[in-house]
Amino acid sequence: MLLGLLVYWRGLSGPFLLDDIANVVRFYVPEFDSDQILYALTHNRSGVLGRSVSMASLVFSGILHGPEPWGYKLHNLIIHLINGLLIFWLLLKCLPYLAKQLSAEKVFWIAGLSAALWLLHPLMVSTVLYVVQRMAQLATLFTLLALLIYIIAREHLLKQQVKHFYLLAYLVFPFVFLLALLSKENGALIPVYLLAVEMLVFKFHYPDVGVKKSLWIFLGIFSVLPLLLGALYFFTHFDSFVDYSIRDFTMTERLMTQLHVIPFYLKLIYLPRLSDMSLFHDDAMAIQQMDLLTVFLLLLFIGSLFLIVYCWKKAPVLAFAIAWFIISHLLESTFISLELIFEHRNYLAAVGPIVAMVYYLFSVAHYPNLKFISVFLLIFWTFLTATRVGEWRSADLIYRIAVQEHPDSLRANIEFANMNYNEGNIGAALTYLQLSQEVQPREAGSFFHESLFRCDTGTSVDELLEQAQQRLALYPVSVYTINSLDAILGKKRVEQCPEVSLDKILEIIVVAKQHPAIQDNNLYQGYLERLEGQAYFYSGNYEPGVERLLRAYEYTGLVSILLELVDVQIQVNRLEDAAGLIAEIQRINDASFGIETSRLVILQEAFNQALLARQESLDN
């Protein structure tokens, strides 16, 4: 843990990256203000359950250390070290059951070296030093805690200490389970981990019928029932889970691709190379047809499932390691319409492969010195981690290395272009934006992005906008496109960027709205209606602007759109309209426990000032 602290320390000065802006910077709260904190806890849209525990943690980091990344990254590092300690403790608990022949000394060394290798593995850098991955870290922390609580409660049950079992199982465990769920949706895997631990560690052993009954009641409530409810939720929301309308691959293609991705993850764990690791894996191509290699990998995956059952008693450590790794990937590496590859998906999953490796290095009777390979790997991996942490100290290094090693990554080229633009290197910025237009032929956002860079330069952007429109006619709109259009309209609001015609923007938005892939996607339709409404407002057309923003609210249910509309009404002196809408927002706010109060107060003050200014004007 001390070595981890020393290795990561210099990386704490690194920058905010990518999703940090939307999930961390946007919700920064400078001091303890209950209304602002409540807003931050309830308005994160990155998960089904809102991830309020993670948001509370991020808000706390901001209040304690200010808006700079250092304090957030420090807290990420502290959580990482605690997770390493919890892994050590979990293995100390599990290994004596999994490998009864091990001495206490060997258990200590296997558990300790496994935890140390996990802590100092270079793959973890992109989770620890990427602030928004606090969500993955906290889900891991509470998952490990939940499993430890279950194991301790189970041991009390074996000793027939029923009171201790009930206290831990029905009071402490549910609370930690809930914290895991509200950190990130991966916490929903705890019931599956429970079944694996019971099957592989305790092997459903109980000394008498009373213990058996207590155990099965607990597993029924906290394992079987959640899995049934989860399955019910999945089937009733099936379309949203498998909505691939905005992806350039289908569910079948994603599943085939994951058969290749999982071995890639194992390679990153066992044979880590810094050139293979990156924040940017969006250049990965989906497998589009079932070839021989994909068939082989499918058979290998099926074989690994059979191996868990076959090794249940014969090689329980191996069975445990395989089960752990597969369970950890059940949500993010299967059928849900997520992106193909992210390193943080291995944050908890890597425990299984690492403990299996260390255990077998300690278990070859005729070659006792093999165990020292673990020590060598610890030294080597620490060196790699220190090197990677050095890269993560600056945005320039992160993005420069990314565009070299992942030249086909849309995100890498975009971020490197942004960095160059902010530093005044306009030529380089435009070069990398134009590269991004080539590497992703479905994406229109980079054309709007280049138009934004050319704002107020007197350079024509008509051709860029025309190319963007052509792509939007063929392919569905993306978040990047929506954000780029939003940025352009932000310029138009303050009467900048004369190069971009609002009439052309309106024409483009109409084309984007008509794409068949997003006809049933309320969120994207709502975002486009909002952009259309803004374009109407900034061109002086109030009524159609109001109509579009109200329609955007109907599509999305986002009160922020109504607040935005009130702001426009105040700006154009439509105070009667604003008064009516403020009253409606207040009603919504009261019904939702005041979660919009912090923004509503600001808007009410602006409205009062506008009302006062109008009254003074009339008096004069």
Query: What are the tens digits of pLDDT across the range 548-568?
Result: 999 999 999 999 999 999 999
pLDDT of the residue at 158: 87
Q: Domain count of the chain?
A: 2
Q: Kindly report the length of the chain.
A: 620
Mean pLDDT, residues 313-330: 95
In order of 189, 263, 360, 368, the CA distances from 363 in angstroms are 31, 25, 5, 8
* Distance in angstroms (rounded) separating the CA atoms of residues 414 and 420: 10
Q: Does some domain include residue 208?
A: yes
DSSP string, 160-173: T-HHHHHHIIIIIH
pLDDT tens digits for range 386-399:
999 999 999 899 99
pLDDT score, position 1: 94
Write down which residue in 342, 369, 396 finishes a domain. 369
Instruction: Report the mean per-residue pLDDT for the chain.
Output: 93
**Residue 14 corresponds to which amino acid?**
G
558 CB-contact burial (10 Å; exposed 0-12 / middle 13-18 / buried 19+): middle
Spatial separation of the C-alpha atoms in residues 513 and 323, rounded to whole Å: 44
User: Hunting for tokens 């059940």 — which residue is that?
Assistant: 330
Q: Shortest CA distance to 180 belongs to which of 147, 232, 140, 207?
A: 140
580-609: pLDDT as tens digits:
999 999 999 999 889 999 999 999 999 999
- Would you say residue 402 lies in a domain? no
Picking from 369, 399, 434, the residue at the C-terminal end of a domain is: 369
Tell me what pLDDT residue 406 has: 93
**Angle in degrees, CA 502, 606, 599, rounded to 5:** 85
| Position 288 in a domain | yes
Find the mean pLDDT for residues 111-138.
Answer: 97
- How high is the pLDDT of residue 367? 84
Reply yes or no on whether the pLDDT at 365 is more than 80. Answer: no
Residue labelled with tokens 């060598």: 376
* Owning domain of residue 289: 2-239+250-369
Which pLDDT value is given to residue 169? 94
Residue 244 located in a structural domain: no
Residue 409 has pLDDT above 90, yes or no: yes
- Residue located via tokens 């780029």: 484
User: Residue 130 domain-assigned?
Assistant: yes
Q: What is the pLDDT of residue 159?
A: 86
Over residues 249-265, the pLDDT tens digits come to: 999 999 999 999 999 99
For residue 193, being part of any structural domain is answered with yes
Written in H, E and C, the secondary structure of 436-457 is HHHHCCCCCHHHHHHHHHCCCC
Asked whether residue 258 is domain-assigned, the answer is: yes
Question: Which residue do the tokens 């049934």 mark?
Answer: 228
Give me the pLDDT at residue 618, please.
84
The per-residue pLDDT for 361 is: 94
Spell out the alpha helix ranges (H) of 501-574.
Answer: 502-513, 522-538, 542-556, 559-571
Confidence of residue 180 (pLDDT cuts 50, 70, 90): very high
Task: Tell me if 73 is assigned to some domain.
Answer: yes
314/93 Cα distance (integer angstroms): 20
- pTM score of the predicted model: 0.94
Give me 352's structure tokens. 């299984």
Q: Which residue has the tokens 């705890």?
A: 190
Stretch 454-474: mean pLDDT? 92
Q: Out of 369, 401, 420, pick the residue that ends a domain.
A: 369
In this predicted structure, what is the pLDDT of residue 562? 94
Q: Is 515 helix (H, G, I), strand (E, B) or coil?
A: coil
